[in-house]
């Protein structure tokens, strides 16, 4: 198993992964502020992070949340997608800038200030926010933090950017891959509210591969559908989130399929990183559904399993309570109208077949083995600074009805999740 | 607020509520067994409970789970619904008799033994099981416990039956109401896996009101749709559950609307009891959705709020993080294709308007008031034997789009929930 024994160990590896492609610079600055909605004695801390291409690029793509009450950053991003060229993104954590009276104006004001400092039209810049919903951005404090953030822009390793965009994330998340003579690098923020369709997740992808804009968008849409939209930490989709891809085009081009393949490799790993670093994640769960007539139904069945609180708590307790898997599948099928046949269903947990031909196969020996298997895949959710290992709980479900399938990732439901979310804002 | 200061206090009230209608007897017996799937040193305990009408009745009705992998009790109940007349039900806790090789045969064997003892055809009896999914019933041990259970059949108060059907329930749940010269009494088991469509919930309703079978079924279906199918503890629907209504017809008839109204009163209170007694429930949450064009969409929007882990954990922590309510609604609307208008949405938490005309109204004063409001509605989930009070967290959502609405009930998500479900089977 891949794993790290200390934060320093992990950061060293990240330094290698986080090298910016040619034609990009990044930085992160800090500020403190007192939210007008909750004046406290201790001020709050916020990071302001920048990712900029050296020149305007016409090659950019995005996937934006489907939440019907999107935040100002999404409203602004929709406008930006109509621009001919863009340069980069300003990201703040702590406050998500959603449904406040002056949300869009606040974001535009910030971008105007940034525009002056970097001499880039504000219309070429994205403003992205993540954090508490419903509070207003501390614009004046943020404006004061812009000059040092701009002054700190640098090439090379951008672990600072990966760290700057974190909210309740335990560790920075970066993945990269070669693509021809160029590279693709992706940063992610996301720890809670992780569900399909870009749910409280920010992903920023920079590449120097030269490719047409339509290909970039097609690749991002296709890869997102099979990676970020196939993970769920708590089934909640957020108001704010997005995946954004920018190419500097400084290096050679590659075939469309090669670019998509490299992008998939990067995003698949990053998606699993997000789950592994989910709020309170004690086990990463991978559900592979096969034997379905339709890929989207297979994915939905897998989601039903990884979103079941009863499945999630059992796995947290290293309890191989496989009855709950069958119940979750039956619940999904019975209430979505998908026709299934119990006698064709088979389920494996790890390498043990626990259900086939309509009945459970449970005995003392496999209960003991299954419990050990779950224990071995467990992580200590209190170790936050780095991924301890890349072990996971594998659940394989075969409906025996067709040739389509899907893989989804999720997490268990732990005391630490409750702890983090019961008073997130303090 | 209604509430009880001790278990004895609550049982006294239950004794009053639990008086069987004319023409019914009930009892509960006990046994110990060693499950073949998990031989342990400590044997498991099981209750066997009986509810019988004195004579065969043609007036019976049911609503059964829609789970696509139903247990043997559901398969059997579907057959029984085709009988001309029935007499009653045998209920066991601890093991749910789902998807085992001999599930239906096991249930039939039990009913044949019971049939001999009470001189009632087995085809007039239901067998109902609740508990662990995937394990086999200890039939031989159960058969040995039948004679004393039958010998203990009694009229009058049936708190023993209400207690006998419990699994992880903290307290027995019974509600009753008058209907003309007769009465309706309903017993419920249910603490986890509570979601719409009869999810891990057993409800047994006995009445001596005289009414036609079709009216009984129509009333039960209608009332279930607006009570038991409008609650959710953890969004999981189970393989086993049912509501069963039997009438002895010993008392006078009432109008169809009066019967439905009395049944609604009983079931509405019982549904809230189930949520209040949910596994680890620290707050009961009532979400009232109005201003929708369609009742079922209003109910689904309410469910999206009470099933959001982030809303649930915030309420557990007495944190008025109302941004999560807006996010859950936007998630629901955006991904179900329901058209909404942010500028028409308004949200109240308790008596405070926290969102209207598209923006949040959050300031220091209402944050403090809201937090106190949540604290006052909190229950101590460690007090298990009786309901401490009937306080709840009221969330009112108005979409401003139409005249339809729905009310749903749910619970928060607590450490105690995790505790109970992380190793339920030990």
Instruction: Taking residues B100-120, report their average pLDDT.
Output: 96
Q: Is A155 exposed, middle or buried (0-12, 13-18, 19+ CB in 10 A)?
A: middle
Q: Does A238 touch chain B (CB under 8 A)?
A: yes
Cα of B72 vs its chain's centroid, Å: 20
Query: Is 60 exceeded by the pLDDT of residue B199?
Result: no
For helices A256-276 and A213-226, the axis angle rounded to 10 degrees is 40
Comparing alpha-carbon positions, the chain A residue that sits nearest to B345 is A69
Q: What is the mean pLDDT of residues B2-17?
A: 91
The shortest C-alpha distance from B161 to chain A (Å) reads 26
Listed range (A143-147, B221-225, B396-400) with the worst mean pLDDT = B221-225
Separation CA B174–CA B186 (nearest Å): 6
The most confident of the ranges A219-228, B38-47, B226-235 is A219-228
Taking only the tens place, the pLDDT of each residue in B206-224 is 999 999 999 999 999 999 9
pLDDT (0 to 100) of residue A197: 36
- Give the pLDDT score at A31: 97
Evaluate if residue A358 carries a pLDDT over 50: yes
- Report whether pLDDT(B192) > 70: no
Radius of gyration of chain B (CA): 22
User: Using a CB-CB distance cutoff of 8 angstroms, which residues of chain B are in contact with residue A35?
Assistant: none
Q: Do B99 and A314 touch (CB under 8 A)?
A: no
The verdict on A397 touching B (C-beta cutoff 8 Å) is no
**Which band of pLDDT confidence, cut at 50, 70 and 90, is reported for residue B191?**
low
The answer, yes or no, to whether residue B173 has pLDDT greater than 50, is yes
More reliable by pLDDT, B292 or B42: B292
Contact B207, B248 (CB under 8 A): yes
Query: For residue A193, is pLDDT > 60?
Result: no
The mean pLDDT of chain B is: 91
Partners of residue B422 in chain A, C-beta under 8 Å: 313-314, 316-317, 319
Confidence (pLDDT) at A169: 87
- Listed by number, the residues of chain B in 308-337 with a beta carbon closer than 8 Å to a beta carbon of chain A are 308-310, 313-314, 316-319, 321-324, 326-335
pLDDT digits (tens, 9 = 90+) for A274-316: 999 887 889 999 999 999 999 999 999 999 999 888 899 999 9
Q: How confident is the model at residue A196 (pLDDT cuts 50, 70, 90)?
A: very low
Q: B422 CB near a chain A CB, below 8 Å? A: yes
Indicate yes or no: CB of A333 within 8 angstroms of CB of B69: yes
Average pLDDT, chain A: 91
CB contact under 8 A, A308 and B425: no
Write down the catalytic residue from A65, A100, A167, A200.
Answer: A200
pLDDT mean over A391-414:
95
Q: Say whether B358 and A418 touch across the interface (CB within 8 A).
A: no
- Taking an 8 Å cut-off on Cβ atoms, the answer to whether A101 and B359 are in contact is yes
Q: Which segments of A277-410 does DSSP mark as H helices, in order?
A: 295-306, 309-316, 323-336, 364-377
More confident of the two residues A425 and B395: B395
Q: Which residues of B touch A340 (CB under 8 A)?
A: 68-69
Using the beta-carbon criterion (under 8 Å), do B326 and A363 form an inter-chain contact?
no
Whether B421 and A134 lie within 8 Å, measured CB to CB:
no
CA distance A247 to chain B (A): 30
- Asked if the Cβ–Cβ distance from A323 to B134 is below 8 Å, we say yes
B196 pLDDT higher than 60: no
Q: Residue A424's pLDDT is what?
A: 54
Task: Give me the pLDDT at residue A199, please.
Answer: 38
Q: Is the pLDDT of residue B47 over 80?
A: yes
The answer to whether residue B198 neighbours chain A at the CB level (below 8 Å) is: no
Q: Would you please indicate which residues of B are annotated as catalytic (active-site) residues?
A: 200
Min Cα distance A67 → chain B (Å) is 4
Q: What is the mean pLDDT of residues B84-90?
A: 97
CA distance B297 to B402: 11
- Confidence tier at B384 by pLDDT (50, 70, 90): confident
Q: Alpha-carbon distance B310 to B324, whole Å? A: 6
User: What is the average per-residue pLDDT within A138-147?
Assistant: 97
Residues 6+ apart with CB under 8 A from B236: A308, A309, A310, A324, A327, A328, A331, B192, B193, B194, B195, B199, B200
Other C-beta atoms lying within 10 Å of the C-beta of residue A373: 19
Q: Which of A143, A172, A303, A293 is nearest to A233 (CA)?
A: A303
Q: Quick check: B210 and B249 in contact, CB under 8 A?
A: yes
Closest residue in chain A to residue B356, using alpha carbons only? A99
| pLDDT value at residue B193 | 52
Query: HSE on the CB side for A24, CA within 13 Å?
Result: 34
What pLDDT does residue A195 have? 41
The C-alpha of A21 sits at a distance from chain B's nearest C-alpha, in angstroms, of: 35
Confidence of residue A364 (pLDDT cuts 50, 70, 90): confident
Rounded Cα distance between A426 and A97, Å, is: 18
DSSP β-bridge partners for residue B348: B353, B396
- Chain B nearest-CA distance from A379, in A, is 15
At B291-309, the pLDDT tens digits run 999 999 999 999 999 988 8
A341 touches chain B (CB under 8 A): no
Q: How far apart are CA B5 and CA B286, in angstroms?
A: 23
B367 touches chain A (CB under 8 A): yes
Whether the pLDDT of residue B287 is over 70: the answer is: yes
Which pLDDT value is given to residue B239?
66
B411 contacts in A (CB within 8 Å)? none
Tens of pLDDT, residues B265-278: 999 999 999 999 88
Taking contacts as CB-CB distances below 8 angstroms, the residues of chain A near B332 are: 68
User: What's the whole-number mean pLDDT along residues A199-226?
Assistant: 91
Q: How many percent of chain A have pLDDT more than 70?
A: 94
Q: What is the mean pLDDT of the segment spanning B51-55?
A: 97
The closest CB to that of B421, out of A310, A362, A426, belongs to: A310
Does residue B320 or residue B37 have the better pLDDT? B320
CA distances from B26 to A280, B141, B216 (A): 46, 21, 21
Range with the lowest mean pLDDT among A22-31, A179-188, B193-202?
B193-202
pLDDT band at A135 (very low <50, low <70, confident <90, very high): confident
B279 touches chain A (CB under 8 A): no
Q: Is the pLDDT of residue A194 over 50?
A: no
* Three-state secondary structure call for residue B245: strand
* B68, B313, B328 ranked by CB distance to A334: nearest: B68
Question: Does residue B225 carry a pLDDT above 60?
Answer: yes
Position A41 scores a pLDDT of 67
Rank A32-36, A380-384, B5-9, B173-177 by mean pLDDT and report only the highest.
B173-177
Cα A280 from Cα A317, distance rounded (Å): 13
Are the C-beta atoms of B251 and A323 separated by less than 8 Å? no
pLDDT at position B198 over 60: no
Give the pLDDT confidence of A243-279 residue by residue, as tens digits: 999 999 999 999 999 999 999 999 999 999 999 988 7
- Is the predicted pLDDT of residue B375 greater than 50, yes or no? yes
A416 touches chain B (CB under 8 A): no
**For position B197, what pLDDT does the model report?**
37
């Amino acid at each position: 198993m891949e794993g790290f024994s200390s934060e320093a160990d992990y950061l060293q590896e990240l330094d290698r992964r986080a090298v910016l492609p040619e034609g990009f610079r990044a930085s992160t600055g800090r500020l403190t502020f007192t939210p007008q909605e909750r004046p406290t004695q201790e001020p709050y801390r916020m990071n302001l992070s920048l990712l900029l291409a050296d020149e305007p690029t016409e090659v950019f793509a995005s996937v934006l949340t489907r939440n019907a009450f999107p935040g100002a950053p999404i409203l602004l991003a929709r406008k930006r997608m109509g621009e001919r060229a863009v340069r980069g993104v300003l990201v703040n954590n702590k406050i998500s800038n959603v449904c406040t009276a002056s949300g869009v104006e606040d974001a535009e004001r910030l971008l105007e200030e940034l525009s002056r400092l970097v001499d880039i039209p504000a219309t070429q810049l994205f403003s992205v926010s993540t954090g508490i919903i419903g509070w207003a951005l501390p614009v004046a404090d943020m404006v004061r933090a812009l000059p040092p953030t701009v002054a700190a822009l640098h090439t090379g390793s951008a672990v600072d950017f990966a760290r700057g965009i974190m909210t309740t994330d335990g560790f920075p998340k970066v993945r990269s891959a070669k693509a021809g003579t160029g590279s693709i690098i992706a940063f992610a923020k996301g720890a809670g509210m992780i569900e399909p369709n870009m749910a409280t997740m920010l992903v920023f992808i920079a590449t120097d591969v030269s490719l047409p804009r339509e290909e970039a968008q097609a690749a991002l849409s296709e890869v997102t559908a099979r990676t970020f939209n196939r993970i769920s930490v708590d089934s909640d989709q957020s108001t704010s989130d997005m995946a954004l891809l920018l190419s500097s085009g400084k290096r050679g081009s590659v075939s469309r399929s090669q670019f998509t393949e490299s992008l998939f490799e990067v995003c698949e790993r990053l998606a699993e990183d997000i789950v592994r670093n989910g709020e309170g994640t004690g086990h990463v769960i991978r559900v592979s559904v096969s034997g379905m007539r339709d890929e989207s139904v297979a994915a939905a069945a897998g989601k039903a399993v990884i979103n079941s609180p009863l499945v999630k708590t059992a796995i947290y307790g290293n309890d191989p309570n496989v009855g709950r898997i069958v119940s979750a599948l039956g619940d999904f099928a019975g209430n979505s109208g998908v026709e299934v046949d119990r006698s064709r269903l088979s389920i494996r947990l790890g390498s043990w077949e626990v259900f086939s031909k309509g009945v459970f196969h449970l005995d003392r020996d496999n209960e003991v083995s299954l419990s050990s298997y779950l224990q071995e895949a467990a992580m200590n959710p209190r170790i936050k600074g780095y991924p301890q290992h890349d072990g996971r709980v594998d659940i394989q479900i075969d409906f025996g009805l067709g040739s389509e399938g899907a893989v989804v990732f999720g997490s268990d439901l732990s005391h630490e999740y409750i702890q983090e979310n019961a008073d997130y804002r303090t």
